Amino acid sequence: MGKVSLEGIEFHAYHGVFSEEKILGNRFTVDIHVETDFKKAMLEDDLKETVDYGRLYKIAQAHMKEPVKLLEHLAHLMIQDILKTYPALKHISITIKKHNPALGGVVNYSVVTVQYPQDYV
């Protein structure tokens, strides 16, 4: 088993519960980690034998364009699409950071991490 990751993917998006978040949007950072068996990819130098992180990026990008209220739900939707694309994956972790959440004080990020299968059991 090995890990394929994308870290620090940045988007401007409109996720949140408050009306201001839906109008102004915010900066978000997404980290995606998946565990897969990529032994054949190592030996054969074949992208089809591993997880294409370009596809992972496109999944995250598509979901960041569709506003939702909760980051937990957003991460869940990403995991579901990753599993549709790569059903053999045994572990997926999505971390989403909302930069400078409007909480009335200085906060760098609000952060949610959802993991498959742990959070699905």
3 is catalytic: no
Contact 29, 99 (CB under 8 A): yes
3-state SS, residue 31: strand
Compute and round to an integer the Cα radius of gyration of the chain.
Answer: 16
Six-digit token pair at 115? Answer: 């993991």
Catalytic residue among 3, 22, 90, 98: 98
- State the catalytic residues: 98
